[in-house]
Amino acid sequence: MLQTIEISKITKIDDGSIITPKGFSADGVHAGLRYSKNDLGIIYSEVPANCAAVYTQSHFQAAPLKVTQESIAKEGILQAIVVNSANANSCTGEQGLQDAYEMREKTANQFNLDNHYVAVASTGVIGEFLDMSKINKGITELKPQATKDAAVNFQQAILTTDLVMKTSCYEVEIDGKIVTIGGAAKGSGMIHPNMATMLGFVTTDANIDSGSLQEVLKEITDKSFNQITVDGDTSTNDMVLVMANGQAGNEPLTNKHPQWNEFKAAFQMVSEELAKQIAKDGEGATKLIEVEVTGAKTKQEANAVAKQIVGSSLVKTAVYGADANWGRIIGAIGYSDASVNLEKIDIYLEDICLFTDNRPQAFSEETAKAYLENDQIKISVNLGVGEAAGKAWGCDLTYDYVKINASYRT
Amino acid sequence: MLQTIEISKITKIDDGSIITPKGFSADGVHAGLRYSKNDLGIIYSEVPANCAAVYTQSHFQAAPLKVTQESIAKEGILQAIVVNSANANSCTGEQGLQDAYEMREKTANQFNLDNHYVAVASTGVIGEFLDMSKINKGITELKPQATKDAAVNFQQAILTTDLVMKTSCYEVEIDGKIVTIGGAAKGSGMIHPNMATMLGFVTTDANIDSGSLQEVLKEITDKSFNQITVDGDTSTNDMVLVMANGQAGNEPLTNKHPQWNEFKAAFQMVSEELAKQIAKDGEGATKLIEVEVTGAKTKQEANAVAKQIVGSSLVKTAVYGADANWGRIIGAIGYSDASVNLEKIDIYLEDICLFTDNRPQAFSEETAKAYLENDQIKISVNLGVGEAAGKAWGCDLTYDYVKINASYRT
């Protein structure tokens, strides 16, 4: 049976954000961890919200991730997420853990919540202790509101050297009710240059239990946040958190619900938009690169090949130099673990065929070069050995990437 | 029982090369594949030599690799290796395979050999056909000699945009006979920018059967050539070929021979020196980075962590910027698959301790920066969870890497 998702029912909310779903508010303040910009933020749900989370695959999870996991383990419910930038509270040992607990407790006290209804996230330099007096004072200044300005305050507070704020919002009708999903994220950037951290926060007023929410988050993360790469390095602080507070009033969403796929599709749109914004704002980047792989044996292989291509330094520099260098794409496919056969591979740059029938194709270098001068580049690869597809996103590798990351920390 | 290798018996031959082992000669000529430099070379053994080879892990092995594998499969014996630069003969389909066969056959005819006594290697741009009239004419001009000049001619003929020739030579006494091992290699560089290719050629006059030689080559490659990285991209043409012609007159070497470990140690030195020369001459590189990992659970994990660190773009840019950024080293360790525990990790930059006892150490940034201005950098990591060790080599990531690889092909 052919399964069709009626995506006409999913609507993008251009000026939507994390406070657009019913019952959510936010704020961001300048606690003094950095010179002048906001550096402490909160997302708040007026009622306890079912939640889900995914964490970095690094062996060295930072202290706030441990505390957040402990919060969620207790009931699968959150009501507030407190986030600081400028300091990742990573590689800070027992002291760092105590600081993350204190940050959680102060926030819980401030909003009259049980401790385990609060999640904690941090991003910034690693190996330094948090200035808890500044954090604690900042927490008392947080006044979450459901306004655009308050959302912007939050979005600013989570940035490090990101150049732009990252937001997305979609609506979908479920059981005749409007369900809204909003998101905010930060990407790759540094205070002192340590490592990039990706943080994502998604709010929704959908009525959905924690288990089902986790199922959606896991599935969608694997084809959105986990499919971006800036430089192949994984942070100790990466985390995506979702809160669903049920205020939309739909029937409980599970994978048995007739509109399960529509909810997932809307969730995917929010996640994918945030992921693309992060990739495009990668350090030193001038271009967003999207790689779509079709004709793979499995989804996993499609995703892996797409990510391998978009992560290749040689592909990234070729895109920066506006060079339609298909040989490097072949090279990246060649060293993936996927099932491949050179005779069956097609490679397209947008609609320009570069390689098919086991041989390079004649194409206009001028047309290809002109296309590669755009700030969004699409590479399509058909592996021709199966039916599965996947996408990945990244950015070009530029002088500025080297400049940003070679500059001395102090 | 403690096994000690008496490395005093192993001597470096400063001006040695592939023609230093008895019975080997070489040559290189300008066949016209590129503007003026040598582009076609040969290594020749005056008697049939037992051989061994390792090949790229890319799914897309280039035509010359297929032909070489076919040659070796027949008897495990080679007498000549013919190599061209400027064109990789990769992704060239049936025509490319025929061209590689023709290159083998012309060489065999020229030197009165059976076809399967000849191996073929190519490096350069991919996706273009070889100009066989130039190749064939060049082959007739090859006059292998056992002179230093002839070795240099060969070493030049295999380079692409490599800045320096890569050679190494060691002697070891086996059964009272002098056994010599010489090597030549090319590293990462491009004609048109496609992908870097690593080629390694090792000659020895040791008396050793093909099976034992393959055993040595496999073991040593895993801790030399396979432990270098320039940009994480794997070529379709990588290959290391070894010929052992037995002229040293030692008793047959096998893993039962009492001096097996000494032979392996000498072989390791040649391979490691070539590997380090390739890493140091990586595209745009200004520094050789050596990472030594000790205290790992297994050798494989030690090697993997070392390669992960030396391959991290953030570590590479930090070394370029002379920044003792231990957080990036922690980051790279964190996303490896190895068994690790942050509390047990020590990180040293030469003899400067950056991280131990689960916390960053106070160190002089000036001293660290001064050390990082050297052109050879040593990073040591003790994982503290086992007894195994491994090394890897790479280079810094610089503006010039981006420049070289972003420049337009034509």
> Which residues in chain A (315-334) have CB-CB distances under 8 A to chain B?
317-318, 320-323, 325-328, 330-334
CATH fold for the domain made of A7-280: L-amino peptidase D-ALA esterase/amidase (3.60.70)
CB neighbour list of residue B385: distance below 8 Å, 6 or more residues apart = B295, B296, B297, B339, B340, B341, B344
pLDDT of residue B28: 97
Of A233, A355, A369, the CB nearest to B313: A233
- Among B66, B197, B316, B330, most A C-beta atoms within 10 A, so best to mutate, is B330
pLDDT of residue B188: 64
A 10 A CB-CB count for A235 gives 26
What angle do helix axes B326-334 and B313-320 make, rounded to 10 degrees? 160
- Do A407 and B321 make contact, defined as CB atoms within 8 angstroms? yes
pLDDT of residue B409: 53
Q: Flag whether pLDDT at B310 surpasses 70.
A: yes
Q: Quote the ipTM score.
A: 0.79
3-class SS at A135? helix
Q: Which whole number is the average pLDDT over B139-152? A: 97
Tell me if B410 is assigned to a ligand binding site. yes
Q: Does A335 touch chain B (CB under 8 A)?
A: yes
Given CA atoms B265, B271, B273, B276 in this order, what sign does their dihedral have?
Answer: negative
Which two three-digit tokens encode residue B165? Answer: 């020739």
pLDDT of residue B348: 96
pLDDT of residue A193: 32
Q: Which whole number is the average pLDDT over B306-318? A: 89
pLDDT of residue B111: 97
- B288-406: what CATH class? alpha beta
> Which residues in chain A (123-152) have CB-CB distances under 8 A to chain B?
125-127
Position with higher pLDDT, B354 vs B124? B354
> pLDDT tens digit string along B121-140?
998 877 889 999 999 999 99
pLDDT of residue B43: 96
- Do B235 and A60 make contact, defined as CB atoms within 8 angstroms? no
Which two three-digit tokens encode residue A354? Answer: 């570069």
Tell me if B197 is assigned to a ligand binding site. yes
Task: Give the residue ranges of chain A where pLDDT is below 70.
Answer: 1-8, 188-197, 231-234, 407-410
Domain spans in chain B, listed from the N-terminal domain onward: 7-280, 288-406
- Among A325, A356, A364, most B C-beta atoms within 10 A, so best to mutate, is A325
Question: Which residues of A belong to the active site?
Answer: 197
B chain contacts of residue A401, beta-carbon cutoff 8 Å: 313, 317, 402
CA-nearest residue to B193 within chain A is: A325
Burial group, residue A351, by CB count within 10 angstroms (0-12, 13-18, 19+): exposed
pLDDT of residue B384: 96
- Among B402, B403, B408, most A C-beta atoms within 10 A, so best to mutate, is B402
- Do B317 and A234 make contact, defined as CB atoms within 8 angstroms? no
Tell me if B180 is assigned to a ligand binding site. no
Residue % of chain B over a pLDDT of 70: 93
A chain contacts of residue B60, beta-carbon cutoff 8 Å: 330-331, 333-334, 340, 342
Q: Which of A195, A177, A186 is nearest to A263 (CA)?
A: A177
Q: Flag whether pLDDT at B144 surpasses 90.
A: yes
Candidates B197, B203, B221, B236; catalytic one: B197
- Do B195 and A328 make contact, defined as CB atoms within 8 angstroms? yes
B chain contacts of residue A335, beta-carbon cutoff 8 Å: 57-59, 233-234
Tell me if B153 is assigned to a ligand binding site. no
Tell me the shortest Cα–Cα distance from B7 to chain A, in angstroms: 37
Burial group, residue B224, by CB count within 10 angstroms (0-12, 13-18, 19+): buried
Q: What is the distance between the alpha carbons of residues A257 and A254, in angstroms, rounded to a whole number?
A: 5
Cβ pair A118, A64 in contact under 8 A? no
pLDDT of residue A218: 87
- Do B126 and A358 make contact, defined as CB atoms within 8 angstroms? no
Position with higher pLDDT, A187 vs B46? B46
A chain contacts of residue B323, beta-carbon cutoff 8 Å: 193, 406-409
pLDDT of residue A192: 33
